[in-house]
């Protein structure tokens, strides 16, 4: 086995990195094999699988995770943005323990859900009223279902490369598991073609659903022109505009829509807003959400055993009220912008083609030249380059997702940013030549 990749091609360098990874992580390998007995691929969450096997993580503290083989990593996967508070925030921990001691499964309103609703509606301009669910997927499904019910139309427009949950997944084509809504697919950030499609399907479209920055699909922000044009066209045709801010609400105190200055009709939320516990929420215009008011005739029914579960509510309140203050949100996202610029500078200094897309505390490495306006642009990056980067960063003590998305968490400080930058620099230094050869297209 060799450890210096200078004269290797990408394929050989990846095989070498995989071999070193397997050797360094025997207990994760064994845990993976044993998990395969009763779970397909040893897995209950596809996004966490990568070959040869994922790390089994046994604990987390601050912005660090520790695996079953005893390695400690700076966590930049950060639970796909849900880990904004890190793994052990003391304020959230105290709130959860306190709620636990007061009893779970109460079977009535506990008062906590009203507090969290107040906090969220004061934060996010698009939220007049809100309802809670258990995941971002559910938040989007209820948003779309609401739009279909209020408009009496059936079709949904979504954008190529977007992800709104396992049954509303549009990366690399639609998933066969998607809910069977009539779909109109449009190219993200292509204003002309999107407006044409809206005009052509205006009579059928109940809603247009959009991540204002495509997250897992590439960390590509909607342009101001695009988002404003879609808002104007949807308004004109009575089509509901749904913003899926399950990830991006972390990008500013009032969510990304507050930065874009565009207010959707409905907003789907989730991830970190549950303070690290299962969570989702959908809300928006009062006249739409009031259709759920059970004190009115013919109200829509929206139930869900765990919608107001006391642990998620308590953790969500503590997080939003006491930890993620507007000042902390601004600080975190400014740190993200600085880190992204540092990584971009390293690519330039090492002469490696590519960039880092994103905004604030969410970013994705793109190891190939391009302007990255559309989610499909990320397909230019060779999958083996993403795999190599991930395994080489893990070997350097930085836990990185296979898609090379880096998400910041509040406990991260300059100490961690410096280590991330240093690890990335040695990765580039070691592999600059082969990355130049294979990613220059």
Ligand X SMILES: Cc1ncc(COP(=O)(O)O)c(C=O)c1O
> Shortest approach of ligand X to residue 277 CB, angstroms?
11
> Shortest approach of ligand X to residue 4 CB, angstroms?
36
Place of tokens 């990320």: 378
139 vs 387, beta carbon nearer ligand X: 139
CA 104 to chain centre: 29
Rounded CA separation 407/194 (Å): 30
> Shortest approach of ligand X to residue 15 CB, angstroms?
30
8 vs 262, beta carbon nearer ligand X: 262
> Shortest approach of ligand X to residue 299 CB, angstroms?
25
Rounded CA separation 318/292 (Å): 27
- Give bridge partners of residue 364 from the DSSP assignment: 357, 405
163 vs 372, beta carbon nearer ligand X: 163
Q: Which residues contact 341 (CB under 8 A, 6 or more apart)?
A: none
> Shortest approach of ligand X to residue 385 CB, angstroms?
23
138 vs 384, beta carbon nearer ligand X: 138
403 vs 431, beta carbon nearer ligand X: 403
Rounded CA separation 417/336 (Å): 9
Measured CA to CA in angstroms, residue 240 lies from 44, 199, 270 at distances of: 33, 14, 20
Helices (H), 152-292: 191-201, 224-237, 256-260, 286-289
143 vs 373, beta carbon nearer ligand X: 143
83 vs 382, beta carbon nearer ligand X: 83
Burial of 191 (0-12, 13-18, 19+ CB in 10 A): middle
188 vs 427, beta carbon nearer ligand X: 188
Q: What end-to-end distance do the CA atoms of the chain give, in Å?
A: 30
For the CA atoms of the chain, what is the radius of gyration? 22
The site for ligand X (CB under 6 A) is made up of: 80, 135-137, 140, 163-165, 211, 215-216, 244, 246-247, 270, 280
Rounded CA separation 312/105 (Å): 12
Instruction: Please work out, in degrees rounded to the nearest 5, the angle formed at the alpha carbon of residue 24 by the alpha carbons of 21 and 28.
Output: 85
Rounded CA separation 312/99 (Å): 10
Quick one: angle between helices 414-439 and 10-24, nearest 10? 140
The CB-nearest residue to ligand X is 136
Q: Identify whether the C-beta of residue 54 lies closer than 8 Å to the C-beta of residue 32.
A: yes
> Shortest approach of ligand X to residue 329 CB, angstroms?
18
Rounded CA separation 39/18 (Å): 23
29 vs 316, beta carbon nearer ligand X: 316
> Shortest approach of ligand X to residue 72 CB, angstroms?
25
> Shortest approach of ligand X to residue 401 CB, angstroms?
11
> Shortest approach of ligand X to residue 267 CB, angstroms?
12
211 vs 265, beta carbon nearer ligand X: 211
Measured CA to CA in angstroms, residue 326 lies from 45, 263, 322, 430 at distances of: 32, 19, 10, 40
Residue 118, token pair as written in the block? 């107040």
> Shortest approach of ligand X to residue 148 CB, angstroms?
18
């Amino acid at each position: 086995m060799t450890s210096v990749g200078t004269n290797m091609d990408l394929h050989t360098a990846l095989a070498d990195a995989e071999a070193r990874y397997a050797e360094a992580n025997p207990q994760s390998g064994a845990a993976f094999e044993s998990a395969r007995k009763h779970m397909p691929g040893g897995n209950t969450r596809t996004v966490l699988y990568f070959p040869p096997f994922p790390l089994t993580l046994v604990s987390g503290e601050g912005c660090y995770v520790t695996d079953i083989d005893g390695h400690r990593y700076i966590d930049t996967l950060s639970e796909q943005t849900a880990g904004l508070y890190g793994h052990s925030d003391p304020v959230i921990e105290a709130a959860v323990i306190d709620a636990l001691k007061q009893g779970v499964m109460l079977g009535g309103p506990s008062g906590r859900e009203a507090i969290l609703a107040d906090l969220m509606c004061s934060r996010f301009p698009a939220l007049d009223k809100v309802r809670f669910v258990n995941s971002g997927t559910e938040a989007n499904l209820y948003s779309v279902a609401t739009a279909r019910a209020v408009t009496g139309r059936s079709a949904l427009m979504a954008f190529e490369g977007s992800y709104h949950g396992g049954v509303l997944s549009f990366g690399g084509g639609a998933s066969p598991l998607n809910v069977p809504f009539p779909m109109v697919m449009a190219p993200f950030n292509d204003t002309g073609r999107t407006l044409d499609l809206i005009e052509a399907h205006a009579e059928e479209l109940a809603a247009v659903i959009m991540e204002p920055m495509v997250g897992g699909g590439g960390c590509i922000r909607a342009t101001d022109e695009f988002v404003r044009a879609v808002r104007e066209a949807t308004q004109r045709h009575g089509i509901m505009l749904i913003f899926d801010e399950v990830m991006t609400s972390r990008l500013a105190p009032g969510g990304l829509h507050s930065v874009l200055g565009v207010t959707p009709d409905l907003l789907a939320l989730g991830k970190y807003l549950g303070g690290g516990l299962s969570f989702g929420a959908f809300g928006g215009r009062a006249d739409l959400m009031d259709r759920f008011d059970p004190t009115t005739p013919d109200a829509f029914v929206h139930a869900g055993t765990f919608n107001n579960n006391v642990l998620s509510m308590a953790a969500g309140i503590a997080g939003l009220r006491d930890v993620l203050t507007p000042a902390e949100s601004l600080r975190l996202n400014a740190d993200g912008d600085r880190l992204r610029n540092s990584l971009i500078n390293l690519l330039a200094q090492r002469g490696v083609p590519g960039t880092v897309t994103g905004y604030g505390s969410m970013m994705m490495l793109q190891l190939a030249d391009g302007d990255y306006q559309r989610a499909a642009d990320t397909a230019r990056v060779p999958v083996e380059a993403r795999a190599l980067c991930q395994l080489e960063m893990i070997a350097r003590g930085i836990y990185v997702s296979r898609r090379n998305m880096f998400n910041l968490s509040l406990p991260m400080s300059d100490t961690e940013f410096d280590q991330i930058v240093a690890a990335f620099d040695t990765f580039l230094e070691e592999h600059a030549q082969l990355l130049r050869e294979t990613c220059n297209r």
